[in-house]
Amino acid sequence: MPHRTPLPGTNTIQIIGACPHDCPDTCSLLTTVENGVAIKVQGNPAHPHTAGSLCTKVSRYTERTYHPDRILQPMKRVGPKGSGQFAPVSWVEALEDIASRLTTIAAVDPQAVQPYSYAGTMGLVQGESMAGRFFNKLGASLLERTICASAGGAGLVHTLGGKVGTRVEFFAESKLILIWGSNSISSNLHFWRYANQAKRDGAKLICIDPRKSETAEKCHEHIALLPGTDGALALSIMQQLIIHDWLDHDYLTNYTLGWDQLRERALQWPPERAAAVCGITAAQIESLARDYGASVQSGAPAAIRMNYGLQRVHGGGNAVRLIAMLPALIGAWRHRAGGVLLSASGAFPVQRAKLERPDLLAGRTPRTVNMATIGNDLLRPASPDFGPAIAALIVYNSNPVAIAPDSAKVVAGFAREDLFTVVLEHFQTDTADYADYILPATTQLEHWDVHSSYGHTDALLNRPAIAPVGQAKPNTQIFRELAAHMGFTDACFADTDEVLCRQAYGDAVDFDELLDKGFVTLPTPEAPFAEGGFPTPSGKCEFFSQRLADRGLDGLPDHVPNYEAFNTSTDYPLAMISPPARNFLNSSFVNVQSLRDTEGEPLLEMHPADAATRHIQNGDTVRVFNKRGEHCCRVSLNDRARPGVVHGLGVWWRKFGMDGTNVNQLTSQALTDLGNAPTFYDCLVEVQAA
């Protein structure tokens, strides 16, 4: 069988899996196992998007799996809360005690139990399947999973109708690619392969990003706008397309809704106005619009690769709406290599209700807590408005103490003596330090799963390559056993992981093909909106959204300035963004020595001119601070930063920081215009030599 290939004359087999990480690429993995030990993880050459290559991080997967610091048995807190002191206990002892604590809390109000999870694994099974069933049966609070993508997601849904777009492979045929708010080389490497192919075939690549990233360096042009000003830029591109009549009138008439209103609004954004907001020149905007509009005359396809980097600001939802509209103005959707891609995840027929079983709520409607405001919510007392104070927190697939905004509040919440916290983890993360119990979870090499992707349209299967390391158990198994200890006897708690894998797509994906090849390409149209057919209520690309208007919001998109806009504070004059460090995946891999060695230490990138006025030298230790807190790190003076903007590359574990903090000490809990998402990159700071 191809998925389990013995290599001739050896004790070695190769198993096909899937990369579990929160990344658009969702690679197909090939793990080589010798005598039961995984010795190598490679990209699967048979999977077209992976094309046999992996990023540096995941090619070090065995180093992470067999890491000497892995949690290999259940651990119970023995020191003061947050001290990180634990002693091993048996599974039975841990599960009995946890079940008894949860039962006591739930007897008063099950909503006092709060799950907290995100995409530590993107697996549909090790994510919210058995866990969802467990919390639904209990009647626990729900979690609004907003930490990453919900502003942009809402922007897409209210414009194109769903998380759908240009197929990634067709970017290879584009003649103009705008890489907008994405450091593709670092965070979407397998898209970069297609963009590079287009570049070799004569395409022009333009990067729109405050930071001169690895990707910006490799593009023909780089437009270093101020954070959170993308909406203004998009409106001004529209203004130029209109006044020069670089428009596809036929497309606008037949396949869009609200063009007259949008036209009026865009005409208010001449390049001079937008340039002042964006901190760039009017000539840059005119040139960008000319390149984009040229596609109308030449017929050469123009495509936009947005990524979530641009929507972590107050106006993130509106900015994504505006950018997602651009292809309709020039009729770029007519080509399979034209249009826009932010997320492809809407293409996947995931059977969430089958996996999570909301019917187990049995008519109860628990409150919903937003993961972006966990700092505030852990500190909220009981009230008629909120309901019970959070009394128990079950964390899996996430490291909130490191990754959630406004760390001072988050840490104060986790440090509450009366909060009972259980963390399912591979490692003793910053979050695990605050646990009452740490339960050892398996890694991707040790369990079954099924995956979707947000960067391509292939479904993937992950087979376990090795037996669980130590006493680790899959998340599913931990929740299965916890359910048994709670006395939950519904038949669905007995479903095995292989059964759950089959349930994830039901009949919509051929499971035998998945078992056989490890991936299945979904049948999606080559040029999805060549002739309209948007999955919106109107069937058109919705410039005007009645659904937003019905919620009392502006049905038409606009530039929404940052809460903490550049030039609005003399105390905190610098805008800080905190995009991913290349060798980490959010806060995962920070503890893998070889990768941490490459990243060095937490760094603040700063423009030499901003440093000069503050008497800061390259390599100095600096205090980065604002009204929420202070974070000390080393400064790197280089031309990656534009004047006025600093970059705190993330997301380090706090305990590796020189003062035990990371950049989220500075970020705020304010939410975006659409989607209730955090605003990590909407953050003013001041910097001093420490």
Ligand X SMILES: Nc1nc2c(c(=O)[nH]1)N[C@H]1C(S)=C(S)[C@@H](COP(=O)(O)OP(=O)(O)OC[C@H]3O[C@@H](n4cnc5c(=O)[nH]c(N)nc54)[C@H](O)[C@@H]3O)O[C@H]1N2
One of 62, 111, 174, 183 touching ligand X (CB under 6 A) = 183
Of 18, 21, 19, 17, nearest to 121 (Cα)? 21
* Choice between 54 and 148, CB closer to Mo ion: 148
* Choice between 256 and 429, CB closer to ligand X: 429
Determine the straight-line distance between the first and last CA of the chain, rounded to whole angstroms.
61
* Choice between 514 and 577, CB closer to ligand X: 577
**CB of residue 306 to ligand X, shortest distance in Å:** 8
334/468 Cα distance (integer angstroms)? 49
**CB of residue 119 to Mo ion, shortest distance in Å:** 7
* Choice between 222 and 502, CB closer to ligand X: 222
One of 230, 377, 458, 542 touching ligand X (CB under 6 A) = 230
154/676 Cα distance (integer angstroms)? 9
544/418 Cα distance (integer angstroms)? 48
Q: Is 38 in the site for ligand X (CB under 6 A)?
A: no
Which range in 143-151, 408-416, 475-483, 668-676 contacts Mo ion by CB under 5 A? 143-151
What residue type is assigned to position 578 of the chain? S
One of 62, 65, 187, 256 touching ligand X (CB under 6 A) = 187
Q: Count residues contacting ligand X (CB under 6 A)?
A: 58
50/385 Cα distance (integer angstroms)? 48
Which range in 33-41, 140-148, 219-227, 433-441 contacts Mo ion by CB under 5 A? 140-148
Helix (H, G, I), strand (E, B) or coil at 588: strand
130/144 Cα distance (integer angstroms)? 18
Q: Which does 665 bind (CB under 5 to 8 A by kind): Mo ion, ligand X, none?
A: none
**CB of residue 430 to ligand X, shortest distance in Å:** 9
Q: Is 181 in the site for ligand X (CB under 6 A)?
A: yes
Q: Is 71 in the site for Mo ion (CB under 5 A)?
A: no
* Choice between 228 and 279, CB closer to ligand X: 228
Q: Is 402 in the site for Mo ion (CB under 5 A)?
A: no
Q: Is 171 in the site for ligand X (CB under 6 A)?
A: no
Which range in 41-49, 115-123, 607-615, 620-628 contacts ligand X by CB under 6 A? 115-123
518/461 Cα distance (integer angstroms)? 5
332/338 Cα distance (integer angstroms)? 5
Q: Which does 413 bind (CB under 5 to 8 A by kind): ligand X, Mo ion, none?
A: none
Which range in 145-153, 368-376, 468-476, 590-598 contacts Mo ion by CB under 5 A? 145-153
Burial 360-385 (b: 16+ CB within 10 A, else e): bbeeeebeebbbbbbbebbebeeeee
Q: From residue 558 to residue 597, what is the string marking binding to ligand X with x (rule CB under 6 A)?
A: -------------------xxxx-x-xxxxx---------
One of 17, 165, 228, 561 touching ligand X (CB under 6 A) = 228
328/314 Cα distance (integer angstroms)? 25
Q: Is 82 in the site for ligand X (CB under 6 A)?
A: no
Q: Is 681 in the site for ligand X (CB under 6 A)?
A: yes
Neighbours of 9 (CB within 10 A): 6
Query: Rounded to 5 degrees, what angle do the CA atoms 137, 438, 107 make?
Result: 35
Q: Is 441 in the site for Mo ion (CB under 5 A)?
A: no
**CB of residue 147 to ligand X, shortest distance in Å:** 5
* Helix segments in 447-529, DSSP class H: 475-486, 497-505, 511-517
**CB of residue 312 to Mo ion, shortest distance in Å:** 9
* Choice between 258 and 561, CB closer to ligand X: 561
Q: Which residue is nearest to Mo ion (CB)?
A: 148
What residue type is assigned to position 503 of the chain? Q
What residue type is assigned to position 50 of the chain? T
* Choice between 10 and 281, CB closer to ligand X: 281
Of 454, 173, 466, 462, nearest to 341 (Cα)? 454
**CB of residue 532 to ligand X, shortest distance in Å:** 28
* Choice between 466 and 527, CB closer to ligand X: 466
**CB of residue 142 to ligand X, shortest distance in Å:** 17
Q: Is 667 in the site for ligand X (CB under 6 A)?
A: yes
Q: What is the dihedral of CA 376, 380, 384, 389, to 10 degrees?
A: 120
Q: Which does 545 bind (CB under 5 to 8 A by kind): ligand X, Mo ion, none?
A: none
**Of 381-410, which residues contact ligand X (CB under 6 A)?**
396-399, 403
Q: Which does 146 bind (CB under 5 to 8 A by kind): Mo ion, ligand X, none?
A: none
**CB of residue 531 to ligand X, shortest distance in Å:** 30
Furthest CA-CA distance within the chain: 73
Q: Is 186 in the site for ligand X (CB under 6 A)?
A: yes
The sheet with strand 75-77 has its strands ordered as 86-88, 75-77, 437-440, 420-425, 392-396, 113-117
Q: Are 435 and 326 in contact (CB under 8 A)?
A: no
240/235 Cα distance (integer angstroms)? 9
127/424 Cα distance (integer angstroms)? 12
Tokens of 484: 């048994």
Query: Rounded to 5 degrees, what angle do the CA atoms 153, 57, 450 make?
Result: 55
**Of 413-452, which residues contact ligand X (CB under 6 A)?**
424-427, 429, 441
DSSP H or E run through 637: strand 629-637
DSSP H or E run through 177: strand 176-180
Q: Is 148 in the site for Mo ion (CB under 5 A)?
A: yes
Q: From residue 15 to residue 34, what is the string marking binding to ligand X with x (rule CB under 6 A)?
A: -------xx-----------
The DSSP string of 585-619 is: BTTBTTT-HHHHHHH-S-EEEE-HHHHHHTT--TT
689/614 Cα distance (integer angstroms)? 8
Tokens of 44: 């699967």
Binding site for Mo ion (CB under 5 A): 148
Binding site for ligand X (CB under 6 A): 22-23, 118-121, 126, 147-148, 180-183, 186-188, 208-211, 213, 227-228, 230, 307-310, 313, 396-399, 403, 424-427, 429, 441, 475, 577-580, 582, 584-588, 650-651, 663-664, 667, 680-681
